[in-house]
Structure 1
Amino acid sequence: MKRAMHEDPGARLPSPPERQAETDRRTGCQRPAAPPACSPGEAPMSERHRQARWIPLALGLLALGLVAPLLGQKQKFSESTDVVLVEVPVQVTDKNGDPIRGLTAADFEILDGKKPQEIVQFEVIDLMSAELAERPKPVPIAARRHFLLLFDMANSQIDSIVRARQAAFDLLRGLHPTDLVAVATYSLLHGADLVISFTSDRWQVEQAIRSLGSPELLKQRSSDPLALTIAEREGSSDEGSISEDMDSLAAEHVQEMNRLAAQADREALVSEAKTYAKRLKDLARVLDSVEGRKHVVLLSEGFSTEFLTGEQIQGGASGGNRAVESGRLWEVDSQERYGNTELQNDIEDMLEEFRRADVIIQSVDIGGLRAGGDVRGQRGDGKGSLVTMARGTGGGFFENFNRLDEAMAEMIQSTSVTYLLAFQPKDLAPDGSYHKLKVRLKNGPRGARIDHRAGYYAPKPLSERLPIEQRFDLAEVVMSGYDQGTVEANVLATPIRVPGEPAYVPVLIEVDGPSFVGGFEGESLNAEIFGYALNDEGEIIDTFSEIAGMDMAKLGPSLLQKGFKFYGHLDLDPGTYSVRALVRNGATGDFALRVATVAVPEEDSAAPSLSPPLVPEPLGTWLMVREGEAAQKERQVDFPFMLGDQPFLPAARPRLAPREKAQVCLLGYNLDDKLEVEAWVTDHEGNEVKGGKVTVDKQPKRTKQGDQLLGELDTKGLSPGEYQLQVTVRHPANGSASSSIPFEVVKR
């Protein structure tokens, strides 16, 4: 959804509050069913509704400049950082291809061009280690393996594509849970199209493989602007959201591509091969924006090698050979005999771009043994082109899927240990230039083989980055799973059980005004907001995305003074989730990702559960923004934050004055008078501090939203700084639960 923000006296609170960038319709200060969003006299915001546009990630249109900017806002970017950290994932294997463990930073040397660089960060990621699951933070994106399944629709027959889809399903089952997978297709009509971004969600990847990117083949398509999801999960089976006539529709599509190709003459086929090389070169350049080593699994029958090397590789007494032997050189077609030089150059340029982007192509001949009635016509045997693309990037060529499974298993084993090195180049110009890298192993085992990226591109102004590159950037931020970004923001997610339905989980996102606006001086500004809930398997269970259009002439002063607060929701079944809230300034590219863990309790569980402590904040603290009307109408639930008959909005990160007494509401389930309640204050590192007093009434109140325990936080004795409010409840028979919330003590 996209809205424009305006200020207008009087307002009411949005029914479910969510994160950082939506506008709110407000009409006066009387209080009907919805609670007040701002105090009398504070300016609210009216809204105009427009469905957010989902933009296909069409790589084939890049050269024409026809891909619209991310989420529809014209981009005007500025650089906000001067320090660049270059991460270099390195694999070291012995002569048998097995990973070598136990190396340290002292064993490596990095050269940027010819200049040695200081290794400022060093980390070891061993996917086979039992300690991996106990890591305090997710595996860095640069150290995670990325697989792009690329289905070549233009150079493949119908039955070959069907076999390729099954092979792709089999390949998924052999990957590590930390591996990220994307799906793309190549067709004559669209070029290279990204179906789904690199994601941890295997179910979504399966839907992408089944649909092959055709929207009409999905029963219910996701509207995720970052393309981390493609299909809605609601009401879908293992076969996903794919309609029953998928095979026939896909067959018609591929059959048409083959019919056109079979009718083409040699010149047209050479032109098609040139276009193929140039569009894959575009794909390679875009993939450079993705951190870490990328493996493109090219599922194709290839194009004829004759176009590359000429008929001389075919052998035999062709017309060209007889003309040469008889001296009639004027009858020889040089391109037909020796190959098309221009095409050869295009192919080499494409391969160089893949190498620079740290991409390895694993090419698979999905045609296998072809029958005599092959409909490829003049296209010939494409095996040679597949070999060229694989060997040109350091990958492998596979003539059947069984060998592919074996080779991928070997590759997964050999790349299971990654040494992540990082350095900070000095005086790096933001011009997008390419820098060669060399990593050396000092005093390493004899026969050790070292594998690393060949180089890196210097940053370039965001105004020069393609929209699809920006999408990849944001998708990787979401997949990273840890807090990052230059914008100051906080998130609070509180599960509310609804009998017989998924839990309603309000998501509150608070965004600091000055760090969000930055140096922007334009008339209007879009705040782009994304929310994702991932389960323990990396599946994306629910999402939201919104745009808030801000009229800076009217809202600018208030935005800088107050910041803004977004209120939305997720629908989640019982379980534990990583809620990832991303807010981005659409004009500068500055962003914040904040991650919160949410545990939705089982309805029939007797164990106590506890949401983060809720601290009501004064009305008018923020400019309020809400999720779109369609999202609000999805769930008809009572407003979740109530003290008696009074609604309130809790702070995601309370800011309290010294010696202030703040009310605290503990919301949970199975809270009764038998509980032992312990509450205390720690510093931001978790050490208990002197000063600060927390009292909690041990008599719970039953409400529509759950069980409530009310208390008070007294900041007396706490110096200005960052703290955590910690709470634990224990039941003598049913177990315990704990929660916490960060807060600040600030001088006012």
Structure 2
Amino acid sequence: MRPSAAITAGLVLGVAAGPASPQQVVPGAGAEVVQLDAVVTDARGELVRDLTQDDFQILEDGKPHRVSQFFVVTRSRPAPAATPAPSDPGVVVEAPSVVTPPDSAAAPGRQVVILVDDLHIGLQSMVEAKRSLRRFLDEVASPDDAIAVVTTSGVGPIQQLTRDRAVVGQALERLITREPSSATNRSARLTPDQAALVLRGDRTALQLAIETVISEPGTLLDANSPQVAVEGGPGAQSAQGAAAAAAGAAGATRDAVEKVAQREVERQATQLLNEALRYSLATLNTLEDVVRSFARMPGRKLCLVVSDGFLDGSGSRESRSLDLRRVLDAATRSGMVMYALDSRGLLTGADASVAAVGASPGVQARVERAAEQIKRDTLTTLADGTGGFLVRGTNDLVAGLRRMLDDNEAYYLLAYEPTNTKRDGRFRKIEVRLPRRPDLKVRTRSGYYAPD
């Protein structure tokens, strides 16, 4: 399921680079400078364009570092940059460098990858996403923007960056959902999302699943269920045997029955989560390949991730947190920002899952909400970790995509020299602060892996 390097490398071909921007420099062999691009917004969410180098503070693993390079990058005319007045009339204070076209109409186009996570988008979400992406192409994207459409399945409309809107439109039309059957089986009493909750220790989700196993026909402790394996037994036993093994033929205690049911729930949960994480890994591999394919292109690149969300196994023994950090590291090195759109927000109603037998509607709803949140958390981690943001809970996908593009009208390029030069392969956490402007919000990358 992982796209070949030849395919992803092709994303960067066919479009000439725009005007040169400050060189992308990140830690690597022989490099001792880290470059960041930071977006700053006020309380209303409006871009702030008038900050100076002295406004910024960079911390790596909690240690302050001096800002060694500073540029303001804007696609439209910036407000006059605030320049500190010299204390001595004979001293000339150099204004911050500004990388900007003389006329906004002549601004260089953006490099945009629309990454459709067809492994994690339901049928209804895909229909709405395709309709809204078509509107985005016609109404929002600039004619100068170079766009590629990529799928996480590695099947279908993988294309090069192009400004040919007909080609992009055809790629969008060919999108279909490739969600696995385990995710689309809404009648299943334990979904992969709920399995993830069980394995991270959510007691409510576990108890709900136990009640299902005990109460429903065809499950482990039902007299008419098919043969099932019982932990501690030599092989498969009937459900009647399972009940007897758990509690004895007469006077069975509730605790004994629940213990057998819990073991069965945990077994099923592990199986379901492992299957789901195979598809999550395919999504992360595609993201990493796309990001790395842009490493040699100058400037800030955008990746718009459209997905219902996916699991990373966090909080369980199956965690894929290292795979997530690997993607974030690649984005830092490539200068790519990820914006995520939770395509479930496009739906007019929630999933019509039937409540588990014996479960109160409130308990069922809480578990389903928590299950949805853990998939959304993965999208949030990717977006926040690369300096982007997540759009969720809206039926107006076009407005969300417009926000993503508008977010790149003005930003700051910062660089610093890390004092920790150990080649230990560990993750270096980055923070950018504005001590003199606590009212403002700054978004940038979360960090990078040191070479080893």
Seen in structure 2, the aligned counterparts of structure 1 residues 210 and 125 have a Cα distance that, compared at 3 Å, is: same
Q: Which amino acid aligns with 2:102?
A: E
SS of equivalent residue, structure 2 residue 152: strand
Aligned to 1:93: 41
CA contact (8 A) 1:361 1:390 kept: yes
What is the 5 A alignment of 1:668-679? none
Aligned to 1:184: 150
Deviation at 1:165, TM superposition (A): 1.4
Deviation at 1:132, TM superposition (A): 4.2
Aligned to 1:299: 307
SS of equivalent residue, structure 1 residue 161: helix
Seen in structure 2, the aligned counterparts of structure 1 residues 287 and 61 have a Cα distance that, compared at 3 Å, is: closer
Seen in structure 2, the aligned counterparts of structure 1 residues 127 and 165 have a Cα distance that, compared at 3 Å, is: same
Which of residues 91, 102, 127 is equivalent to 1:134? Answer: 102
What is the CA deviation profile of residues 322-375 of structure 1, one whole-angstrom value per residue up to 9, with x for unaligned ones? xxxxxxxxxxxxxxxxxx9345x33x555545555453432211771369999x
Which of residues 59, 62, 65 is equivalent to 2:2? Answer: 59
Deviation at 1:119, TM superposition (A): 3.5
Q: Matches of 1:199 and 1:126 in 2, distance apart?
A: 23
Deviation at 1:134, TM superposition (A): 2.8
Q: Matches of 1:70 and 1:287 in 2, distance apart?
A: 8
CA contact (8 A) 2:70 2:412 kept: yes
Q: What is the TM-score of this pair, normalised by structure 2? A: 0.52
Deviation at 1:178, TM superposition (A): 6.4
CA contact (8 A) 2:76 2:107 kept: no
Which of residues 105, 114, 118 is equivalent to 2:53? Answer: 105
Q: Which amino acid aligns with 2:409?
A: S
Which of residues 367, 370, 376 is equivalent to 1:387? Answer: 376
CA contact (8 A) 2:37 2:444 kept: yes
CA contact (8 A) 2:136 2:402 kept: no
CA RMSD, 1 decimal: 4.8
What is the CA deviation profile of residues 49-106 of structure 1, one whole-angstrom value per residue up to 9, with x for unaligned ones? xxxxxxxxx63679xxxx89979xxxxxxxx973454321111111111111222223
What is the 5 A alignment of 1:526-565? none
SS of equivalent residue, structure 1 residue 277: helix
What is the 5 A alignment of 1:701-716? none
Aligned to 1:407: 400
Seen in structure 2, the aligned counterparts of structure 1 residues 401 and 169 have a Cα distance that, compared at 3 Å, is: farther
Is 1:359 the counterpart of 2:338? The answer is yes
Seen in structure 2, the aligned counterparts of structure 1 residues 193 and 108 have a Cα distance that, compared at 3 Å, is: farther
Q: Matches of 2:103 and 2:159 in 1, distance apart?
A: 28
SS of equivalent residue, structure 1 residue 100: coil
Identity, % of aligned positions: 23
Seen in structure 2, the aligned counterparts of structure 1 residues 175 and 383 have a Cα distance that, compared at 3 Å, is: farther
Aligned to 1:396: 390
Q: Which amino acid aligns with 1:450?
A: V
Seen in structure 2, the aligned counterparts of structure 1 residues 270 and 434 have a Cα distance that, compared at 3 Å, is: closer
Aligned to 2:411: 418
Aligned to 2:258: none
What is the CA deviation profile of residues 243-293 of structure 1, one whole-angstrom value per residue up to 9, with x for unaligned ones? xxxxxxx5xxx5896599549976564333111222233344445534646
Q: Which amino acid aligns with 1:271?
A: N
Deviation at 1:156, TM superposition (A): 1.9
- Answer 1 or 2: which has greater helix percent: 2
Which of residues 423, 440, 449 is equivalent to 1:448? Answer: 440
Q: Matches of 2:341 and 2:179 in 1, distance apart?
A: 27
Q: Matches of 2:56 and 2:345 in 1, distance apart?
A: 40
What is the 5 A alignment of 1:656-671? none
Aligned to 1:166: 131
Q: Which amino acid aligns with 1:195?
A: I
Aligned to 2:316: 341
Is 1:148 the counterpart of 2:117? The answer is no
What is the CA deviation profile of residues 372-403 of structure 1, one whole-angstrom value per residue up to 9, with x for unaligned ones? 999xxxxx99844543334444443535542x
Q: What is the TM-score of this pair, normalised by structure 1? A: 0.34
CA contact (8 A) 1:88 1:452 kept: yes
Q: Matches of 2:426 and 2:4 in 1, distance apart?
A: 24
Seen in structure 2, the aligned counterparts of structure 1 residues 368 and 68 have a Cα distance that, compared at 3 Å, is: closer
Deviation at 1:175, TM superposition (A): 3.5
Instruction: Select the structure with the greater relative contact order (CA < 8 A; seq sep ≥ 6).
Output: 2
CA contact (8 A) 2:111 2:301 kept: yes
What is the CA deviation profile of residues 589-645 of structure 1, one whole-angstrom value per residue up to 9, with x for unaligned ones? xxxxxxxxxxxxxxxxxxxxxxxxxxxxxxxxxxxxxxxxxxxxxxxxxxxxxxxxx
Deviation at 1:419, TM superposition (A): 0.8
Aligned to 1:498: none
What is the 5 A alignment of 1:502-521? none
Which of residues 146, 167, 172 is equivalent to 1:209? Answer: 172
Q: Which amino acid aligns with 1:186?
A: T
Which of residues 275, 281, 287 is equivalent to 2:284? Answer: 281
CA contact (8 A) 2:345 2:393 kept: yes
Q: Matches of 1:360 and 1:288 in 2, distance apart?
A: 13
SS of equivalent residue, structure 1 residue 134: coil
Seen in structure 2, the aligned counterparts of structure 1 residues 260 and 92 have a Cα distance that, compared at 3 Å, is: closer
Seen in structure 2, the aligned counterparts of structure 1 residues 308 and 153 have a Cα distance that, compared at 3 Å, is: closer
What is the CA deviation profile of residues 454-499 of structure 1, one whole-angstrom value per residue up to 9, with x for unaligned ones? 1234468xxxxxxxxxxxxxxxxxxxxxxxxxxxxxxxxxxxxxxx
Q: Matches of 1:180 and 1:96 in 2, distance apart?
A: 30
CA contact (8 A) 2:157 2:171 kept: no
Q: Matches of 1:279 and 1:255 in 2, distance apart?
A: 12
Aligned to 2:30: 82
- Structure 1 or 2, whichever has the larger Rg, is 1
CA contact (8 A) 2:111 2:146 kept: yes
